[in-house]
A = this chain, B = another copy of it.
């Protein structure tokens, strides 16, 4: 195994070099598409609007028939019918004629402009036009919004309310999206007990399987709960094999301790080729992080401390899940704040400080460090809205310095 710890940048480079790709795609209906990632470019197969349409309520006219018309010099046109929305116009107009039309309705043949209803008067079977219109006035031309053949959305885009609206607009009811990566989540350690059960003496409740399953959802994956595996090599290996068979990614975490009995890295390495990618990273917290590739599947052993496990998941596991999910871009998931107090880095290691976000008297966001030491693991989890990063070559961030805080869970 590795003697010197890799830096976070080296770890990221190793992962990039793996060339992980999105999973296969599947076809789904638009009604189940929210939150999914497009596996195809969406190209319009029609012009939008599909016909010349009126943008106002009024009268469709030949523009030249209205030239010179004004309040004191009105023009009279013969009303020959009406066209409503949703109906193809069955009439066409000739010189001197007009047709009543509503917003969104199709312009009848022969017409090339629409006079707004406010600029007209009705007199028997005639329409009095009080204002001239130019050719194309109050008409939205066929294809002026979207041209047939235009690429509306691209592979890798996440489908939210707007994107779904765009797909509906061009009449598509089904599309290809990437399969959601399944992520097996597994806790290890003889000391952890499933919540909802009595707590035997000397034990603590399992936290990481639950918080990490939540983080999987927030990363665009689907958690597969594998429960708790005891620190016994055979059982651990069997549970890991089952996890690898069930899921695209496996995430394990130590209960709390990384004691002399921790055999996780070796057990993971023995599962298959190519095996361990790295074991240990020069970051604080999160040093005891292990990653392996078994076949094509990433397998992680995260630290036991709940906030550290969540931090390393965000730094390393989440980008991999998003890659497998086919995401082409990352979200805006950071906020600017000012440091509430001076925060020191750990010598020679990229340091991440868990922070709680509050507001000062001027309503500015302030990042207050939250203890991530051995004490207060759950308090840290409850309070840490996000983290800020201190590079290897920086000693500290000073009070009132501007910082960027990456949020641990989206607040949406």
What residues make up the interface of A, taking CB atoms closer than 8 Å to B? 30-31, 34-35, 46, 48-51, 55-57, 84-89, 102-106, 140, 144-146, 152-153, 158-174, 189-197, 199-215, 217-218, 225, 255-261, 304, 306, 310, 331-333, 335-336, 374-379, 381-382, 384, 408-412
Contacts and interface: CB of A to CB of B under 8 A. Distances in A.
The number of times this chain is found in the oligomer is 2
A343 B152 CA distance: 26
A196 B171 contact: yes
A126 to B, nearest CB: 19
Contact of A165 (B85, B171, B207): B207
Given A102-B260, A160-B214, A165-B210, 14 more contacts: A30-B210, A48-B204, A84-B190, A85-B190, A85-B257, A86-B191, A87-B190, A145-B375, A145-B376, A146-B378, A161-B213, A162-B381, A171-B199, A218-B412
A153 B378 CA distance: 12
Given A374-B55, A410-B410, A85 B259 contact: yes
A286 to B, nearest CB: 16
A384 B56 CA distance: 24
A161 B211 contact: yes
A102 B201 contact: no
A189 B87 CA distance: 11
Q: Which 3 A-B pairs have the closest CB atoms?
A: A173-B196, A165-B211, A161-B214
Contact of A377 (B31, B88, B145, B158): B145
Contact of A104 (B191, B332, B333): B191
A163 B410 CA distance: 12
Contacts of A56: 374
Contacts of A410: 160, 331, 410, 412
Nearest to A106: B202
A137 B384 CA distance: 26
A140 B211 CA distance: 22
Contacts of A195: 30, 167-168, 170-173
A35 B211 CA distance: 12
22 contacts: A34-B213, A48-B204, A50-B199, A51-B202, A56-B374, A57-B260, A85-B202, A85-B255, A102-B257, A104-B189, A106-B202, A146-B378, A152-B382, A161-B212, A162-B214, A165-B211, A165-B310, A168-B195, A168-B205, A169-B204, A169-B381, A331-B412
